Structure 1
Amino acid sequence: MTDAQINPDPENMIAYDDQKRMARDGSHDERRGLAGREDVRPEILYYLAGDPDPGVRRQIAQNELTPRHADLMLAQDDDDRVRSDVAGKIATSSLTMSESEQTNVYKVTMQALEILAGDQLVRVRQILAETLKDSAGAPVHIVEMLALDRELTVSGLILENSPILNDEFLIRVLNSEPVQGALKAISRRVALGEEVADAIVNSGDTEAVAELLGNESAQIREETLDRIVDQAPGQPGWHGPLVQRSGLHVDAMRRIADIVSETLLVELKKRADLDDDSVAAIDLVIQRRLDGRSIEDLAEIWSDTPDGPTVTAGVEDPNWAKSKGNTGPGPVADAPSDPEWASEKKHEVDQGQIKRAQKLHKKGTLREKHVSAAINDGETDFVIAAISLLADVPKGVVRKAASLQNAKALVALAWKAGLTMRLATRLQMNLAKIPPSGVLRATASDGYPISPEEMNWQLEFVAGMADGD
């Protein structure tokens, strides 16, 4: 639309004097009819934009040939319906308008859009968002205004769909205490970038993470996915999306299999992208859950036997198991929600777990994978003993750090034990039950977030408070 005069059909044209008369003295019906015509002079349309009848002004708001200055006036109209009509029209016309052409019209159009993007009526702003959400040619600053709107019915449309918003802007939104539901909208974006996915996981918004997992086009780093799996035992809403998520590595598959329901375990086994290693890992978990044994017990049995067990459809050969002394289910300890379990006064110590850790350490084969598996199995005494042995500190120091829910001390213990920061994160959440908001996380390079000096100080501090065992 421009301010240029149109060339009407001479046979249907209303004479200019008649246009002026109808605009000034015509009935409601005549003025409304005139306002909707395509052969009316621009100055007449501008005059009708100030008509006392909202019905006339609505016709002017909808008329594609209305001068843009009249639209600017209508963008500030007292009638909600008039503003809604002009919002839809201007937003649509802006999609084909470049800043370099028709400079005056462009400036007035942007001014009108800015007014409408800040309109008090949600419906007006929503009309703009619905019109602009899918366009790569929409005015950037208007789209960003709508993306920051405090009404999710407005901002959600833009945050989920607009191709204009870049990762830097989205991360800024994530860090700015956005309206509830904004993170879920961002999580559903097509081809969401890795850095934005990291920011969503770091936010602690569990519903947004579930949406992220369900978004197959979202790019999620393997390290980020591992962190999600670390937290998944306490987040049942993530289990279904995790089972369906493509690109899972074998260790993630096994850990997921260890926590999901039997129904989801069946779904996991049906995945078309499973390789032989993944199938074997899932079969091991199925068997462990059937007989109640620790997966570390199975791993030790396998490593001591040249041929290993026969596994068919996820069921271990019972004769082979009996030959190794495994004739029935064994206890699997679950870590209680109260971190005070770390005190021996409130917790019956499993000496078998401790001896297993000591045996592995004596052989020089105690590794991070054993600690990780024990965390999965809820074998708290194995975890405490393993950290104690690897870090060369008394078990009481590990218990005290857990009972205090001291995130820095647990990170320091993992560091002293030669473990990764990823496992240190799991220790905080699974051993000490520290809530996500209080968990210390790895740096961008997956390193430790505190200095060696600080970690040594934390170890000395906790050691001074701990029992001497």
Structure 2
Amino acid sequence: MAGFLKRLFSGGKKPIDYDRAKDLAAHPNSQVRADLARRGDIRPEILYFLAGDTDPAVRRSVAANDSAPPQANLLLAADRDDEVRGDLATKIARLAPGLSAHDQDRLHRLTYEALEIIARDQIPRIRQILSQALKDVANAPPDVIRRLARDAELVVSGPILRFSPVLTDEDLLEIIGTDPIPGALTAISRRAGINTQVCDAIAATDDVDAIAVLLGNPLAQIREETLDQLVHRAADIEAWHRPFVERPRIPTRVAHRLARFVAADLLRTLADRDDLDPETTALVALMVEKRIGETAHSPEATASNRRAADLSEAEARARALMDGGHLTETTIDTALASGDLAFVTAAVTLLAGMSAKSVAKVVDTQSAKGIIAITWKAGLSSGFSLQLQTRLLRLPPSRVIAPADGDFPLTTREMEWQLEFFDTPE
């Protein structure tokens, strides 16, 4: 059989006449039919016939074949096999540029209909294939792009929200204003050249992560008034401090306020900027000296030393329990109920295999999504993530993200993104 196939399809160089192709399309060996379906010199009606083949390998060959007629693509868009639809999504994304829902050409309309079916596929991976392929296509169909941008899965909507040139500012503002899924605002915040209206809309939300990314985006066109509003909220949100200090340009009044609360290393970074006027530079330099002197002798410094000692002792206790196989959710919950927060922090840090700085950043910024991701990575229950939000982060009820039907309220990819965002090596 292998020799027969080699002779029959060697390089696809010798054309097969119509009658011979019909005979091969009904061949009992599915490998023969699949090889036929991959050829580019087969009549459209033969490929359409093979699109209904009982063997998914044959249908996959048709799905990947650029010569398949639009009728075959439309048929395969609803195929029961995920791999068939995945191959079709890859191909049809190449055909998408220039397609329109109002195209008068029947064949173009059929291709557009197949594209829309794929964009609504029940399997996120299929929609993700389409999203990745269309994310930077300038003349992709706007209706399809808008659908993908509003997808309930971040792996689908994220690439479109971050990169697609088809999305207008009006599209982005509408998405921001309609309770988007977790991670959507962060994806928008990463876009190159976000205009002032979109920046204002993101800055007006309570999404700490998205605003941190927005501040760190050097191409985001954030108005001085918006920066001024954000810096008044930033004192207790450590995740904003570094991107604020490292923005390409910051107003003088923003620099003055940052100098009052950022950490010493960031204060030095602020003092070393060369875009501040001489008066502001001198004021920040004086603030550096003052803050360093105050820090060395303040009660807060003594308290900080005590907290460091407490954390070290708590880590030793947690590690001893983990080494003995006794560091369980019950043990941590008991400590949480008794207010031993240093032990709770050390325990989840060890179980999650993360750096203490990363976990501390999540706690300090009171990131509900961050602590959910840490709970998941530590192998603890979704219900316990609720306890950590209320007792460790001390979040008010309005900011707590409750489990969804007993499961984590974020997708795996969203939690992985949170862990990457807060990752700080020791």
TM-score, normalized by length of structure 1? Answer: 0.59
**In structure 2, how many angstroms separate the alpha carbons of the residues matched to 1:236 and 1:28?**
61
**Compared CA separation, residues 26 and 286, structure 1 to 2 (3 A):** same
Deviation of 1:99 after TM superposition, in Å, equals 7.1
Residues 314-329 of structure 1 aligned to structure 2 (within 5 Å): none
**In structure 1, how many angstroms separate the alpha carbons of the residues matched to 2:298 and 2:139?**
64
Deviation of 1:41 after TM superposition, in Å, equals 0.6
Residues 392-411 of structure 1 aligned to structure 2 (within 5 Å): none
**In structure 1, how many angstroms separate the alpha carbons of the residues matched to 2:104 and 2:170?**
31
Give the AA of the match of 2:160. I
Whether the 8 Å CA contact 1:250–1:281 is kept in 2: the answer is: no
The SS at the match of 1:286 is helix
Give the AA of the match of 1:270. D
Whether the 8 Å CA contact 1:292–1:331 is kept in 2: the answer is: no
Counterpart position of 1:166: 168
Residues 64-463 of structure 1 aligned to structure 2 (within 5 Å): 64-97=66-99, 103-290=105-292, 292=294
Whether the 8 Å CA contact 2:256–2:284 is kept in 1: the answer is: yes
**Compared CA separation, residues 168 and 97, structure 1 to 2 (3 A):** closer
Give the AA of the match of 1:76. A
**In structure 2, how many angstroms separate the alpha carbons of the residues matched to 1:122 and 1:98?**
24
**In structure 1, how many angstroms separate the alpha carbons of the residues matched to 2:204 and 2:154?**
21
Counterpart position of 1:452: none
Of Structure 1 and Structure 2, which has the larger fraction of its residues in helix? 2
**In structure 1, how many angstroms separate the alpha carbons of the residues matched to 2:63 and 2:12?**
25
The SS at the match of 2:273 is coil
Q: Deviations over 1:138-196 (max 9, x none)?
A: 00000000000000000011001111111111111111111110010011111001111
**In structure 2, how many angstroms separate the alpha carbons of the residues matched to 1:32 and 1:255?**
68
**Compared CA separation, residues 99 and 152, structure 1 to 2 (3 A):** closer
Q: Deviations over 1:284-318 (max 9, x none)?
A: 3223324559xxxxxxxxxxxxxxxxxxxxxxxxx
Whether the 8 Å CA contact 2:99–2:141 is kept in 1: the answer is: no
Counterpart position of 1:15: 17
Give the AA of the match of 2:145. V
Counterpart position of 1:304: none
Whether the 8 Å CA contact 2:38–2:61 is kept in 1: the answer is: yes
**In structure 1, how many angstroms separate the alpha carbons of the residues matched to 2:204 and 2:13?**
68
Whether the 8 Å CA contact 1:253–1:281 is kept in 2: the answer is: no
The SS at the match of 2:62 is helix
**Compared CA separation, residues 290 and 28, structure 1 to 2 (3 A):** closer
Counterpart position of 2:31: 29
Whether the 8 Å CA contact 2:135–2:163 is kept in 1: the answer is: yes
Whether the 8 Å CA contact 1:49–1:60 is kept in 2: the answer is: yes
The SS at the match of 2:66 is coil
The SS at the match of 1:204 is coil
**Compared CA separation, residues 52 and 187, structure 1 to 2 (3 A):** same
Give the AA of the match of 1:88. T
Deviation of 1:98 after TM superposition, in Å, equals 6.3
Whether the 8 Å CA contact 1:194–1:221 is kept in 2: the answer is: yes
**In structure 1, how many angstroms separate the alpha carbons of the residues matched to 2:292 and 2:27?**
89
Give the AA of the match of 1:187. S
Whether the 8 Å CA contact 1:254–1:285 is kept in 2: the answer is: no
Structure 1 runs not aligned, ≥5 long: 1-8, 294-328, 333-434, 439-469
Paired residue total: 295
Deviation of 1:269 after TM superposition, in Å, equals 2.0
Structure with greater Cα Rg: 1
Structure 2 runs not aligned, ≥5 long: 1-10, 301-395, 400-426
Counterpart position of 2:345: none
The SS at the match of 2:261 is coil
Whether the 8 Å CA contact 1:58–1:85 is kept in 2: the answer is: yes
Give the AA of the match of 1:154. V
Deviation of 1:127 after TM superposition, in Å, equals 0.7
**In structure 2, how many angstroms separate the alpha carbons of the residues matched to 1:87 and 1:203?**
35
**Compared CA separation, residues 99 and 178, structure 1 to 2 (3 A):** closer
Give the AA of the match of 1:158. I
Counterpart position of 1:40: 42
**In structure 2, how many angstroms separate the alpha carbons of the residues matched to 1:45 and 1:194?**
51
TM-score, normalized by length of structure 2? Answer: 0.65
The SS at the match of 2:249 is coil
**In structure 1, how many angstroms separate the alpha carbons of the residues matched to 2:173 and 2:101?**
28
Q: Deviations over 1:307-355 (max 9, x none)?
A: xxxxxxxxxxxxxxxxxxxxxx9999xxxxxxxxxxxxxxxxxxxxxxx
**In structure 2, how many angstroms separate the alpha carbons of the residues matched to 1:38 and 1:330?**
78
The SS at the match of 2:26 is helix
Q: Deviations over 1:3-56 (max 9, x none)?
A: xxxxxx996011211100111234111101100011111100000000000000
Whether the 8 Å CA contact 1:71–1:112 is kept in 2: the answer is: yes
Q: Deviations over 1:368-393 (max 9, x none)?
A: xxxxxxxxxxxxxxxxxxxxxxxxxx
**In structure 1, how many angstroms separate the alpha carbons of the residues matched to 2:179 and 2:277?**
42
**In structure 2, how many angstroms separate the alpha carbons of the residues matched to 1:290 and 1:277?**
20
Percent identical pairs in the alignment equals: 45
